[in-house]
């Protein structure tokens, strides 16, 4: 198999069915990448190529001067950095340089974000305090590459960037490196062709399986990434951020006056716009302890929204209680098959129901 990115659905389906050992072991499993990359980053298994691969990534490092002096690399699993463990720790060694070693921690993510709010914050403080560290890298190898998280001092490298740095080593590389790079290219194809697969899923919901998507949420992350590009290109004042919603992918509107608005009379309550799969939602962020006050306001809000006449009528949600969390006020069905129509629909909804519309009067 050549190291090429699938350009259409036929090529993606064929590439996914290829008996590549990375695919067989499970591309979506971080443990798969941990095993392959431990060989990639070790001169014991990869001779001098391991150091060359690290040097090719040097633009992402906090410090990279003098790396050309290093000729040996060892890679270790699950090494301690302060009170945390990093997936891989690469130790660069030199027999000629005055500095005996550099340390490069690499965290691996496929479709998930950080493991806990402070994972990268804690490791970053340790990296900053120790001059032996080159910096830190996060290999965001799946849909994590399009999600918005705070990664601290760690630099994000998605499949696109890694492949651009390492593609020149493919022809002369060992078989295990070729296998890994080939599946990196396939994952890029999944990202680029996600909207086309989504269209197939409108007729056959399970169609995404044949192209190697780990689940429907994996597909939707990549669909959101394409939508975000399109929406931002036409309205650069709006910022859309993608997160893991647990059961589904979410994309929030993070944009000043148009979303995340406080309810003045209720402390700890605000409203915002968000995509949940192929629904566009008006939701609450509910952090108030006064559930009765919240319930009275929310029920009044739902009644007002239900009675409001619009070109984009909202489907409201009736609730008996409004507990803490992110309860839904109402939503709209949207179709990601037609970006132009989607953009017009979202503009209309935000204008009609946002801070310049009905929510300003409630």
3-state SS track over 269-299: EEEEEEEECCEEEEEEEECCCCHHHHHHHHH
Residue 325 β-bridge partners: 286
pLDDT at 319: 86
Tokens of 259: 């979303």
179: Cα separation from own chain's centroid: 23
pLDDT at 285: 96
pLDDT at 197: 97
Asked if pLDDT for residue 98 goes beyond 60, the answer is no
Asked if pLDDT for residue 324 goes beyond 70, the answer is yes
Q: Which single residue is written with the structure tokens 């697969």?
A: 197
Prediction pTM value: 0.92
- Taking only the tens place, the pLDDT of each residue in 342-355 is 999 999 999 999 99
For the chain, give the mean pLDDT: 91
CA angle 21, 23, 27 (to 5 degrees): 125
pLDDT band with cut points at 50, 70 and 90 for residue 64? low
Query: Can you tell me the mean pLDDT for 214-238?
Result: 91
pLDDT band with cut points at 50, 70 and 90 for residue 105? very high
Query: Can you tell me the mean pLDDT for 335-341?
Result: 89
Query: Can you tell me the mean pLDDT for 312-326?
Result: 91
Could you tell me the residue ranges of all domains in the chain? Answer: 9-192, 198-360
pLDDT band with cut points at 50, 70 and 90 for residue 252? very high
Q: Which helix (H) or strand (E) holds 315?
A: strand 315-316
Beta-sheet pairing, 315-316 with 328-333? antiparallel
Cα–Cα nearest to 299, from 320, 268, 323, 280: 320
Asked if pLDDT for residue 263 goes beyond 70, the answer is yes
pLDDT at 32: 97
Query: Can you tell me the mean pLDDT for 85-97?
Result: 85
pLDDT at 55: 87
pLDDT at 99: 62
Q: Which helix (H) or strand (E) holds 106?
A: strand 101-109
Query: Can you tell me the mean pLDDT for 37-48?
Result: 90
- Taking only the tens place, the pLDDT of each residue in 154-176 is 999 999 999 999 999 999 999 99
CA 230 to CA 210: how far, in whole Å?
Answer: 26
pLDDT at 153: 87
Distances (CA, A) of 346 to 195, 232, 258, 282: 18, 12, 12, 12
pLDDT at 21: 96
Query: Helices 194-203 & 175-192, crossing angle to 10 degrees?
Result: 60
């Amino acid at each position: 198999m050549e190291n090429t990115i699938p350009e259409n659905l036929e090529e993606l389906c064929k590439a996914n069915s290829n008996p590549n050992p990375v695919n067989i072991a499970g591309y979506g499993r971080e443990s798969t990448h941990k095993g392959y990359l431990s060989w990639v980053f070790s001169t014991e298994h990869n001779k001098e190529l391991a150091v060359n691969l690290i040097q090719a990534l040097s633009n992402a490092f906090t410090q990279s001067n003098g790396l050309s002096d290093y000729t040996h690399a060892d890679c270790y699993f699950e090494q301690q950095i302060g009170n945390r463990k990093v997936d891989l720790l690469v130790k660069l060694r030199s027999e000629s340089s005055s500095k005996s070693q550099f340390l490069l921690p690499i965290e691996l993510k496929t479709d998930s974000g950080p493991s806990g709010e402070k994972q990268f914050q804690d490791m970053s403080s340790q990296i900053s305090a120790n001059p032996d560290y080159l910096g830190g890298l996060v290999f965001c190898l799946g849909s994590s590459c399009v999600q918005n998280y705070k990664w601290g001092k760690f630099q994000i490298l998605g499949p696109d960037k890694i492949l651009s740095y390492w593609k020149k080593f493919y022809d002369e590389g060992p078989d295990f490196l070729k296998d890994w790079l080939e599946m990196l290219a396939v994952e890029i194809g999944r990202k680029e062709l996600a909207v086309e697969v989504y269209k197939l899923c409108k007729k056959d919901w399970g169609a995404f399986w044949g192209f190697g998507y780990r689940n429907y949420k994996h597909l939707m992350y990549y669909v959101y990434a394409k939508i975000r590009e399109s929406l931002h290109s036409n309205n650069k004042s709006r910022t859309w951020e993608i997160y893991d919603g647990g059961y589904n992918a979410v994309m929030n509107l993070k944009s000043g006056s148009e979303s995340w608005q406080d309810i003045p009379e209720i402390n700890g309550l605000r409203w915002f716009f968000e995509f949940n799969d192929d629904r566009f939602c008006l939701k609450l962020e509910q952090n108030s302890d006064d559930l009765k006050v919240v319930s009275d306001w929310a029920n009044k809000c739902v009644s007002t929204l239900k009675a409001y006449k619009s070109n984009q009528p909202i489907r409201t949600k009736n609730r008996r209680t409004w507990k803490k969390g992110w309860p839904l006020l109402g939503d709209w069905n949207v179709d990601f098959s037609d970006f132009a129509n989607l953009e017009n629909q979202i503009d209309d909804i935000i204008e009609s129901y946002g801070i310049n519309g009905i929510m300003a009067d409630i």
